[in-house]
Amino acid sequence: MEKEKLFKNLIIVMIVIAVILAGVLAWIWIDRNGMIKELTFEKEGLTAQMIQLRDDYQVLTTNNDSLNAELGREKERVEQLIDRVQKTEATNRAKIREYEAELGTLRSIMRSYIHQIDSLNTLNVALREDVAMARSEARESRQRYDELKTTTDEYAKQVEVGSVVKGRGIVLTAINNSDKDTDRSNRTAKLKTCLNLIENSIAEKGPKNIFIRVKGPDGIVMTSSQEQVFSSEGAQMIYSAVREVDYQGNELEVCIFFDSSQSYVKGVYTVDVYTEESKLGSADLLLK
């Protein structure tokens, strides 16, 4: 009887132990599955953060080639880290923690790049503003220069026009062999042209040639030689006679004589008076 009772008690103890072990194993299994799910979720979250970091690197662009090259290398590091995480078992907690630390480092690096890019963008904005201001100032300077040049050119033209010697009181008369005035063609020996050079303080001082062109009643310039040519206002013309005077800016009376080798005929004679700068005027004479 005692043996049977002892045997029964032993069986009961073994059953209790088996139940306890089953419970422990069940708890271990459940806990392990929970830990695996937690680690898997953590791995997936870590992978998602790395993918987001990679996407953030893709949108970072600058006009700086050197900085773009550095961004490309960091993006490649993120790609490699994503690949390593995906190949690592979720249960390898040590590796997961190592990848988390590396992700933190990569984020810090990205923040430094963002700061650099912001600084470059700020600098570029400032430079663009400086360039725009410089261009505006250059346009204003060019405008002021053009206005000043226009004013200066106008002044120069005024001075040039004002510096030209002008004449007044041009008179054409005929004189006989006794140097007396006459209006008879058959008594005329010479034609005399007199005028006054007007006072001009800004005109060029010194020797100045005064040319006359005498035209007969037929309208042809009377001259002793076809080689008597001068230039005035860019045009070449034949002259009848010329006289050099010393002009010093004061009013000066000038008379020029023309002695024709041909006899004078009845009609209207015209004289045009020139300097090398301009025409001084004209006068007519009627010979009977």
The residue ranges of every structural domain in the chain are 2-121, 167-287
Q: In the prediction, which pLDDT does 114 show?
A: 65
| Helix, strand or coil, per DSSP, at residue 150 | helix
Q: What pLDDT shows up at residue 109? A: 73
Query: Domain spanning 167-287 has what CATH number?
Result: 2.60.40.10
Cβ atoms within 10 Å of 207's Cβ, excluding its own = 9
The one-character DSSP state at 14 is H
pLDDT at position 156 is: 46
DSSP state of 178: T
Q: What is the DSSP string of 22-89?
A: HHHHHHHHHHHHHHHHHHHHHHHHHHHHHHHHHHHHHH---S-HHHHHHHHHHHHHHHHHHHHHHHS-
Measure the N-to-C terminal CA separation of the chain; round to a whole number of Å.
Answer: 192
Per-residue pLDDT of the chain (288 residues; tens, 9 = 90+): 566 666 666 677 677 666 566 555 555 554 455 455 666 666 676 677 777 767 776 666 666 667 667 767 777 777 777 777 667 765 666 776 776 777 777 777 767 766 776 666 666 666 666 666 767 776 776 777 666 666 555 544 544 445 688 889 999 999 999 989 999 999 999 999 999 988 888 788 899 999 999 999 999 999 887 788 998 888 899 999 999 999 998 999 999 999 888 889 999 999 999 998 889 999 999 999
Interatomic CA distance for residues 175 and 188, integer angstroms: 6
pLDDT value at residue 149: 61
Residue 238 contacts residue 229 (beta carbons within 8 Å): yes
pLDDT value at residue 31: 47
Residue-level pLDDT at 105: 74
Whole-prediction pTM value? 0.48
Per-residue pLDDT, 239: 93
Q: How many CA atoms lie within 13 A of 31 on its CB side?
A: 6
- Going through the chain in order, the beta strands assigned E by DSSP cover 167-175, 181-182, 190-197, 206-215, 221-222, 229-232, 235-238, 241-247, 252-258, 267-274, 279-287
